[in-house]
Amino acid sequence: MQINVKKTYLLVTDDDKKRREQEPAPLLTINRETLQAMNLDDACRYLRYWGTGNGDMRATKEVVRQKIISARDLIKCNSLTPELATKLFTSKSMGFFRFSAELIEWSESGLNDVKRLCLQAYKNAWHLPWSTASALFIFPKTHSSKEFTLPMAVLTQELLLHAERCMRHEDMSKKVMLAGQTAP
């Protein structure tokens, strides 16, 4: 197997700062070339997620946020119908958010920030100023609203799908899920 040593780094995952200071990263060589050791606090991409060696996933959140901003700005001045612009934004931005939703811990303020960006994009799609009331985009269709996709709905859907996947197999995940149902 060929490995590009210039793009491959050694990432030691250890949250114990004292041990990291006392024991330097080991030297690992591939094809007589030594891999560079990555700083534990530097974010890197691994299996499509961005994070640090100590589990800090803020970099993934920032990547998702930037992708949503990019999708929002893409539909700002467009010749698409509002319906098509909305579909374009939702497919691009909610796809990025959906990927990280179930595995990354999102704070309420982080979710509110993503929601704010989505609402700005929906207003862009309908050629409305950002100061327009958001009720038109949030409330359900049964109340004469648009009921567009928002982060909390995506997060809820992904968590439910994740729980469903955990319950499919007779393993520890299922036992933990069932134990949670009977806890006082």
pLDDT in tens, 99-147: 777 678 889 999 999 999 999 999 999 999 999 988 888 887 776 668 8
Nearest-angstrom CA–CA distance, 27 and 164: 43
Same domain, 23 and 92: no
What's residue 50's pLDDT?
74
Structural contact between residues 86 and 120, judged by C-beta atoms closer than 8 angstroms: no
Average pLDDT over residues 68-96: 91
pTM score: 0.71
Q: Which DSSP helix (H) or strand (E) runs through 50?
A: strand 49-51
The answer to whether position 184 is within a domain reads: no
- Asked whether residue 45 is assigned to any structural domain, the reply reads no
Residues 123 and 165 in one domain: yes
Residue 183 lies in a domain: no
* Shared-domain flag, residues 132 and 83: yes
Mean pLDDT, the chain, integer: 83
Give the closest residue to 136 by CA, choosing from 123, 124, 125, 127: 123
Shared-domain flag, residues 65 and 22: no
Q: Give me the pLDDT at residue 130, please.
A: 93
**Region 63-79 average pLDDT:** 91
Range of the domain at 36: 1-40
The total number of structural domains that make up the chain: 2
Whether 183 has a pLDDT exceeding 60, the answer reads no
Residue 76 placed within a domain: yes
68's CB contacts (< 8 A; 6+ apart) are 93, 96, 97, 114, 117, 118, 121
Q: What is the mean pLDDT of residues 45-62?
A: 76
Say whether both 63 and 36 belong to one domain: no
- Number of neighbouring beta carbons within 10 Å of residue 116: 14
Q: What distance in Å separates the CA atoms of residue 181 and residue 184, rounded to the nearest whole number? A: 8
